[in-house]
Structure 1
Amino acid sequence: MYSADIRSRALSFFEKRGHTVVPSASLIADDPTLLLINAGMAPFKPYFLGEAPAPYERATSLQKCVRTVDIEEVGQTSRHGSFFQMFGNFSFGDYFKEKAIPYAWEFLTSSVSDGGLGLPEDKLWVTVYLDDDEAEDIWRREVGVPKDRIQRLGMSENFWSMGVPGPCGPCSEICFDRGPDFGQEGGPVANDERYLEIWNLVFMQNIRGEGPAKEGYEIVGDLPSKNIDTGFGLERMALLLQNVPTIFDIDTTRRILDLAAELSGAKYGAGVAEDVRLRVVADHILTSVMLIGDGVTPSNEGRGYILRRILRRAVRMMKLLGAGDPVVHELVARTVQVMSPMYPELGDEHKRIDRIAVAEEAAFTQTLRSGTAIFDMAASELRKANARVLPGDRAFQLHDTYGFPIDLTLEMASEAGLTVDEKGFRDLMAQQRARAKADAAARKSGGHGESGVYRELLAQGPTEFTGYGELTSEATVRGLIRDGKRVRSASEGDIVELVLDRTPLYAEAGGQDSDAGTIVADSGLHLEVLDVQKVARKLWVHQVKVRSGEVAEGAVVLAQVDPEWRLGARQAHSGTHIVHAALRQVLGPTALQSGSYNKPGYLRLDFSWTGGLSPETRTEVEEVANLAIRRDLPVAVEYMPLPKARELGALALFGETYDEDVRVVEIGGQWSRELCGGTHVGHSSQVGPLTVIGESSVGSGLRRVEAYVGIDAYRYLAKERALAVKVGDILGVPTPEIGDRVEALIKQLRDAEKQLARFRGELLHNLARNLAAHATPIGGVSVVAEHLPEAASADELRSVVLDVRKLLTASNDAAVVALTALSNDKPLVVAAVNDGGQQRGLKAGDLVRLASKALRGGGGGKPDIAQGGGTDPLAIDEALKLVRETIGQKTAH
């Protein structure tokens, strides 16, 4: 049974039983505690936590997930992958164990013709929590599972929580007996490889307190509303139904793996190392395609770093397998083909996904080159110090700073006759992971540690946002929060969070900065609004500083938006839409926005594109935007169901989560049509002048445009004009002629530099001829060992040495040249030996090491040419004397 068929069967089964089919949320989590969606229930977390009312009592979904905490284990086991899909059916205060348990059993065991999976009942085992008599009773009496196939497990295996105080509850798992080929009998307690877990039912009924993440924490009470979170991993179910050994052999992943084998020349099944690498490639390319499809772009932090790491790891594995040419283009195409039946949007985004992935492959190829050079330098330093172990911190630097994989460092070290302090490297990696986990834990507790306070306030109803229609609203203070706790009042000088029943102040969202403003009352109360944020997308939380008076819960106040601030914010946000539309008009429909930020007078917009924009293209984008502004296009706002908005072609921002009814903002009708909750001008002309001030790269396949609008654009242009006038005055030409005049001056300067370099070259060549003419014979070898005060750099010194050697070789069988010079007050030494000199046992590297030691430094090189230096200029004469004496000693033998 194909993966797409398993998916459609599961969704259809539960839809027929009253569940709303919810499409997979974006992998970009709408949750401050998560970088990426890592569990099927994650998009529903606000409903389980009570932060927002669920829009349905029952739901079912197949959710895309990415988990990269133990990425090094991918491919090593049969069931561990970075990308996976979680099917789930959920109840929000509706049914509980009495329905969830029979539903799961019915779907698994019903015949294929009846829409089930047709699993034999006698192969299924069940586990329940230690004291969950209710669940065991339902399994035995209502479902009919024999008592000897029901086992009880403890908290670490059969009790679920989020790892922090909040909802929790016992679990019950369904396991499939794969037979004696997979291990000993005895049920899931005895062997979880043979008895494969295929379904997990979480009965969310309790509240946990502080304590360890897995077990040992206190159960402090019962949830007011019991919830259900049950389901299975699609890949694991496909493994079972398709009777294949690993998740990498199922119908989707195996097709990617087979292409990787074809492109690299590797053979799957030929050996453990090759098999692991092929599995990693298949998993990581699939994960990368799904992440890019949801709007993640490679970068050096957050989600972008996760994508960069796994995509580069896939490229590296392909190189280890023997692939030479770029391979990502073909692997991406195969992945899109494989996954499109379940996620049709991948087909629409294929070009964008391919462009970003291919650009990252090219960037990593360059990184491999530069990383190799850095490794070679480190290896050279080790040899000079007679050491054979690359320190762990150097290996970690290569990995962390330059993206150089540790397996490549180990391989190259072995080739160079070196070893790596793997323990030191692993310790540093463990410290980094610990910091990341601590950060994640801080985000997790920070995001929900105070959720009870907000939940109390949200229970009184969502905040009514009035800011689309007015800038001043009368409101009532619902609550005051300080340090995560409710307080009754706040007085002058205090900074607190304040929740109103209604507000005109825009909360930061959709790239738009929050409004500035005040909250006042007749009593003399004056609050300065410092920030406005939304909690659970429905509660407006104002951070305020009490400038005068005292504010208390229940007070009636007047909330006011700073009108100048809002005017600039509206101009900037509408300007962002206009720039986006202009980019798509000039570059094409694949130049899609992937992020934005705007505040009064300023906007920046990130969009998918590879390669910088030429000055002509940048000017064209700016002109298209200003022509749209001049045309005074109407700006219209309409609310409509999400499917209708998509049908109209309204653009949605990657990673954003939208309600069933959305707000569509149009500028000039179809010219610009986007889903947006921000504030906008009434006509495009109100944006005022728009000037692009910068265009740059912010990651592989991602560009950023920055612009000013309105009075800020005018001020920027005025400064530019004043600067141009000043430069024109200095150059003595009218402003329009500045470019030609600067170009002429640069040409004159370059011509002068070329002439100077030519004169310098002639001087050094004459110097070389003079030195060669005064060579000293030592033991039958022509020797030049002198200090060269005229040389200004190591390159010049090297050039003179090679010139002298060439001149001596033309008239002598054996010749040695060793010259010193000062660079930044530090001595340099370069030596060269021709073939005749080498036959006499003289090597440039040996001579340089000897001289450098005298100069209190180091150096080395090949027998024919070598270079070094030191820190003691006063030792130059001594160093040259040692060189001459050594030549004499060598030639005497």
Structure 2
Amino acid sequence: MPVSRSQSQPHMLSGAEIRQKFLSFYADRGHKVLPSASLIPEDPTVLLTIAGMLPFKPIFLGQRQADYERATSAQKCIRTNDIENVGRTARHHTFFEMLGNFSFGDYFKEQAIAWAWELSTQVFGLSPHQVVVSVFEEDDEAFAIWRDQIGIAAHRIIRMGAADNFWAAGPTGPCGPCSELYYDFYPEQGDEAIDLEDDSRFIEFYNLVFMQYNRDSEGTLTPLQNQNIDTGLGLERMAQILQKKPNNYETDLIFPIIQAAAAIADLDYTQADESAQVSLKVIGDHVRAVTHLIADGVKASNEERGYVLRRLIRRVVRHGRLLGIEQPFTVKVAEAAIDLMAAAYPNLKEREVAIKAELEREEKRFLETLDRGEKLLAETIAQAMATQQSQISGADAFILYDTYGFPVELTEEIAAEQGLGVDLASYQAEMAQQKARSRAAHETIDLTVQGSLDKLAEHVHSTEFLGYSASAAETQVEAVLVAGKAVEQAKTGTMVQVVLSQTPFYAESGGQIGDRGYLSGDNLLIRVEDVKKEGDIFVHFGRVERGQVGIGDRVSAQIDRACRRRAQANHTATHLLQAALKKIVDSSISQAGSLVDFDRLRFDFNCPRALTAEDLQQIEEQVNTWIAEGHQADVVILPIDDAKARGAVAMFGEKYGDEVRVIDFPGVSMELCGGTHVSNTAEIGAFKITSESGISAGVRRIEAVAGPAVLDYLNLRDQVVRELSDRFKAKPEELPERIANLQAELKSAHKAIDTLKSELAQAKSAQLVSDAKSLGDFKVLVSALEGVDAEALKGAAERLLQKLGEGAVVLGSVPEADKVSLVAAFSPAVVKKGLQAGKFIGAIAKLCGGGGGGRPNLAQAGGRQPEKLEEALAIASQQLLEALAP
């Protein structure tokens, strides 16, 4: 495959097109397309998902067998190790997407290199003469493949050391050499001195890892029996190349978010100075990160992932302040990020309310202390500089963290802008002393449930589960915990966790919720609300309703049969649903997650496209047909290899033992499953799909109800339809048209109202011209316009300034209760005298309990104290008259 001398041009592709073309390229070559894993990894040794290969780490380490030999994915990742470079370099990010193709003992170097080259030059259209590759200095095999089979000139294949081109999971274990592809932005500079560390000329965009060795404790490398391929192509970097942008931030993957932030700051990114552009880039990057973190379930805190989230949000807020944004703004920027990324990650839309709520709460909390913290830090920095110190003391940094919520990294960043460091050693010492004080303030420390069980494991036997065949059992109490702490007894009214020697209660696992029910004995009653498994120990969570419970007590354990029947119906329905999806939509569909509750079910599955209304109707009809046919369940325990040989469906990522439980409805569905099920599909009664949506790239979600929950669902909707019919005086079938007509009328009315508001604002503002005060060559107009919204107020100020000529216009309004809108428009001559509209109106807005800012000639602000507007406008008038007096 020699390199052609013809020049090809990079294809101008959107970020979404790059992602899809990558996945399609490898799907066409036998790779299973997998969805992005959560940013919260299964691997307990890693805080966040930092690479595309992380979800496959157990496979690479030989801890788990893959169900396929080839895979490809677009993985969302977060790294904060070099956060200080975000926004300052062309390509550093906290959030990024890694496109990867993986081989688990299938193809190796030759094929991986050939496909990487084909994808880069033919699919993405990169010129072969603008691609340089690197190989590990001892990897003669990879060097030869690039030179002899691909046709790259030897001087454009750069040998590099282990630090750059040898990958390892750790000190021991699987490892191997890498080969990286770089794009050359300036090939006209020639090949005489290729320096891949020159990131102004070269950008690494694709990394191929050849895992071919195992390293033992003495450092000896032994060839692996199965050689694996792990690759990563940076989506943002490829977008920069193909879209011909100077940096990743100006690609369509990030720039719309930057524009949203710039609009709030009343800035034009292209005209902004370097420091403002850096702040806008930081906001654009970090907002992508925080929306995904919150969507995946992370909440802001001072620990682990929560601390990462809090730190990123606070950096966003601070960089907003540097741009002159005084009011809360993160939610508005997050809306732009969600709209931009929802097509690839639909769970952002589904979690939009939670994302906004977390951002609003965290931003408000930080803003409450930010002013005081910034003032104290500024004083600390000034004092350090005045006394010619080179760093801020650890004690001062700790006060900022402990009292004002300033992450020490933020203090470091602000101090560094003034050429100062932070004494981190003494800061850590202060932190350690605080923790010691905290420990001393408590006589005892409550253990978590898991911690207590770990301590009890030597004395508590594994719980024997009887629930497949029994709904009640006489059993013995093995352990009692209160607030996670092991106790001898618990009395009436206490919330407890009880461990039994045997139990009929199903513990939450495999997506199925835990059983509910009762534990009873002599004058004892415990209402069990949930059951969870910790290893092989079942923990029953409940409340002592009567009497007391202690270790060694004999109790009767009784599940709530009605709840169990509902769970069984919903769980079996998920099996039928998966079978229907495979039959009607695509036989390659596989489960990506599930929830089986008493009142509903949720089924996530890998699927390359959205389902149509016709698809959903056919699926629903097929499931209900199988229910009506009354298929009998056949439940058997088999060796796992025998079960798979029979065609039993296993869930990727689920851990199975040597023997597995198989739920078989012959001719319909056969799956490996430890959950509880109906004995005949007819027991389900009915099945109804309630929604279908996408939750991430390549993953869809169906929510449904089955069994008695279907009647609940239909009764609720029937009630709603009846109420709407009564309210609109229409038959049920007439409701859609009636509502559509009302929506059209409402839209028309809103449009008319907006027009009237604009006309009213113009009429009111026209009357104000005569109120302007003359000050030599300037005219000053400060006034209130009643009931005018912010946009109309801005337009009025601009028109008035045009009529006045050189001068200043400040207008205020109360568009709605508890809200103040302010705007300032200054002519060029006023700005030359040193007055800036942004700073001026921001200070006036503070008098009304708000803030704001903008450009020197035009700026808007707001507040929440309408009663202060008259006083604020009077002060604004006085300040302008004094500043512009001849």
TM-score, normalized by length of structure 1? Answer: 0.51
Q: How does 1:233-312 map to 2 (within 5 A)?
A: 245-246=162-163, 249-250=166-167, 258-259=180-181, 270=197
2-side partners of 1:395 and 1:285: how far apart? 47
Pairing of 1:609-688 with structure 2 (within 5 A): 621-669=619-667, 671-688=668-685
Give the counterpart of 2:871 among 875, 882, 888.
875
2:825 corresponds to: 832
Q: Name the residue aligned to 1:567.
A: 565
Give the equivalent residue in structure 2 for 1:333: none
1:752 paired with 2:752, answer no
CA deviation string 1:164-191 (max 9, x = no partner): xxxxxxxxxxxxxxxxxxxxxxxxxxxx
Q: Which consecutive unaligned segments of at least 5 residues does structure 1 have?
A: 1-27, 40-59, 75-241, 287-310, 329-359
The whole-number CA distance in structure 1 between the counterparts of 2:870 and 2:684 is 69
CA separation of 1:411/1:519 partners in 2, compared to 1, >3 Å: closer, same or farther?
closer
How far has the Cα of 1:713 moved from its partner? Answer: 1.7
**Of 796, 799, 806, the match for 2:795:** 799
1:346-425 alignment to 2 at 5 Å? 363-364=288-289, 374-380=317-323
d(CA) in 2 for partners of 1:479 and 1:414? 58
State the SS of the aligned residue for 1:752: helix
Describe the shift of the 1:864–1:284 C-alpha distance in structure 2 as closer, same or farther (beyond 3 A): farther
Partner residue in 2 for 1:109: none
Q: Determine the structure 2 residue equivalent to 1:780.
A: 777
SS in 2 for 1:677: coil
Instruction: Please state how far the C-alpha of 1:680 moved relative to its aligned partner.
Output: 0.9
The equivalent of 1:335 in structure 2 is none
Aligned partner letter, 2:596 = N
Partner deviation per Cα, 1:227-277 (whole Å, 9 max, x = no partner): xxxxxxxxxxxxxxx9953485249977666147789999886389999x9
Larger Rg: 1
Residues 626 and 689 in structure 1, CA contact (< 8 A), matched pair in contact too: yes
Whole-angstrom CA distance in 1 between matches of 2:529 and 2:314: 46
For residues 144-183 of structure 1, the aligned pairs below 5 Å read none
In 2, distance between residues paired with 1:273 and 1:592? Answer: 44
CA–CA separation in structure 2 for the residues paired with 1:374 and 1:571: 49
CA–CA separation in structure 2 for the residues paired with 1:777 and 1:660 = 92
Matches of 2:541 and 2:624 in 1, distance apart? 37
Check the 8 A contact 1:261/1:268 in 2, yes or no: no
2:726 partner letter:
D
C-alpha change, 1:285 and 1:405, in structure 2 (3 Å) is: farther
Paired residue secondary structure (1:258)? strand
Partner of 2:221: none
Corresponding residue for 1:302?
none
Change (3 A) 1:729 1:833: same
Q: 1:611 to 1:800 in 2, by over 3 A?
A: farther
Q: CA deviation at 1:742?
A: 0.8
Verify: 1:724 aligned to 2:739, yes or no: no
Cross-structure match for 2:467: 467
TM-superposition CA deviations, 1:97-134 (whole Å, max 9, x none):
xxxxxxxxxxxxxxxxxxxxxxxxxxxxxxxxxxxxxx
Stretch deviating more after TM superposition (512-521 or 545-554): 545-554
Structure 2 partner of 1:689: 686
Structure-2 separation of matches of 1:513 and 1:774: 71
CA contact (8 A) 2:239 2:251 kept: no
Residue type of the alignment partner of 1:879: I
Pair 35,249 (structure 1): closer, same or farther in 2 beyond 3 Å: closer
TM-aligned CA deviation for residue 723 of structure 1: 1.4
Does the C-alpha gap of structure 1 residues 785 and 643 become closer, same or farther in structure 2, counting only changes over 3 Å? same
Structure 1 position 727, deviation (Å) = 0.8
Shift of 1:806: 3.4
Residue type of the alignment partner of 1:568:
R
| In 2: Cα distance, 1:821 partner to 1:527 partner | 61
- Secondary structure at 1:795 match in 2: helix
Bigger shift: residues 711-720 or 618-627: 618-627
**How many Å separate the matches in 2 of 1:887 and 1:554?**
85
The answer for the alignment partner of 1:819 in structure 2 is 811
Structure 1 counterpart SS, 2:856: coil
Q: Give the one of 688, 705, 719 matched to 1:708.
A: 705
Task: State the AA in 2 paired with 1:651.
Answer: V
Q: Distance in 1 between matches of 2:408 and 2:183?
A: 21
The one-letter code sitting in structure 2 at the alignment partner of 1:602 is R
What is the identity, as a one-letter code, of the residue corresponding to 1:509? S
- Deviation, 1:655, is 3.6
Note closer, same or farther for the CA distance 1:640–1:366 as it changes in structure 2 (3 Å cut). Answer: closer
Distance, in Å, in 1 between the alignment partners of 2:625 and 2:763 is: 64
Structure 1 residue 763 corresponds to structure 2 residue 774: no
Quote the offset at 1:678 in angstroms: 1.2
Alignment partners' CA distance in 1, 2:629 and 2:468: 24
Match of 1:863 among 856, 868, 871: 856
Contact 2:822 2:845 in 1 (8 A): yes
User: Does the CA contact (< 8 Å) of 2:412 and 2:422 recur in 1?
Assistant: no
Aligned-residue offset at 1:860: 4.6
Identity of aligned residues (%): 24
Match of 2:737 in 1: 740
Deviation at 1:569, TM superposition (A): 2.2
Please tell me whether the aligned partners of residues 851 and 883 of structure 1 are also in contact (alpha carbons under 8 angstroms).
no
Q: Give the counterpart letter for 1:249 in structure 2.
A: F
CA distance in 2, matches of 1:704, 1:457: 40
Q: 1:422 to 1:533 in 2, by over 3 A?
A: same
Distance 1:646 1:796, change over 3 A: same
Work out the CA distance in 2 between the residues paired with 1:248 and 1:507. 47
CA contact 1:787–1:876 (8 Å) conserved in 2: no
Deviation at 1:710, TM superposition (A): 1.5
How far apart are the structure 1 equivalents of 2:670 and 2:491?
46
In the superposition, relative to structure 1, how do residues 612 and 491 fare at CA in structure 2: closer, same or farther (>3 Å)?
Answer: same
Counterpart-to-counterpart distance in 1, 2:843 and 2:541? 69
How many residues were matched structurally?
A: 590
Structure 1 position 878, deviation (Å): 2.9
Partner SS state of residue 688, structure 2: strand
Look up the match of 1:447.
Answer: 450
Verify the 8 A CA contact 2:324 2:854 in the aligned structure 1. Answer: no
**CA displacement, residues 816-862 of structure 1 (integer Å, 9 cap, x when unaligned):** 43333345466654232344665777754576468668878765543
Give 1:712 shift: 2.1
C-alpha displacement at 1:681, in angstroms?
Answer: 1.2
The 3 A distance-change label for structure 1 pair 379 and 591 is farther
- State the secondary structure of the residue aligned to 1:760: helix
Please name the residue that 2:442 is paired with: none
Q: Which amino acid is the alignment partner of residue 320 of structure 2? A: M
In 1, the alpha carbon distance for the partners of 2:770 and 2:633 equals: 84
Q: C-alpha distance in 2, partners of 1:259/1:532?
A: 52
Shift of 1:868: 4.3
* Cα separation, partners in 2 of 1:257 and 1:427, compared to 1, 3 Å: farther
Tell me: CA distance 1:828–1:634, structure 2 relative to 1, closer, same or farther (3 Å): same
How far is the alpha carbon of 1:550 from its aligned partner? 9.6
The whole-number CA distance in structure 1 between the counterparts of 2:686 and 2:78 is 48
Tell me the amino acid that sits aligned with residue 720 of structure 1: R
Q: Name 1:508's counterpart in structure 2.
A: 508
Change (3 A) 1:728 1:257: farther
Contact kept? 1:248, 1:282, Cα under 8 Å: no
Deviates most, 443-452 or 714-723:
443-452
Provide the C-alpha distance between the structure 2 equivalents of 1:771 and 1:270, rounded to a whole number of angstroms. 63
CA contact (8 A) 1:849 1:860 kept: yes
How do residues 90-101 of structure 1 correspond to structure 2 at under 5 angstroms?
A: none
C-alpha change, 1:860 and 1:644, in structure 2 (3 Å) is same
Secondary structure of residue in 2 paired with 1:714? helix
Deviations 1:176-224 (A, max 9, x none): xxxxxxxxxxxxxxxxxxxxxxxxxxxxxxxxxxxxxxxxxxxxxxxxx
User: C-alpha separation between the residues in 2 aligned to 1:857 and 1:550?
Assistant: 57
In the alignment, structure 1 residue 36 sits paired with structure 2 residue 28? no
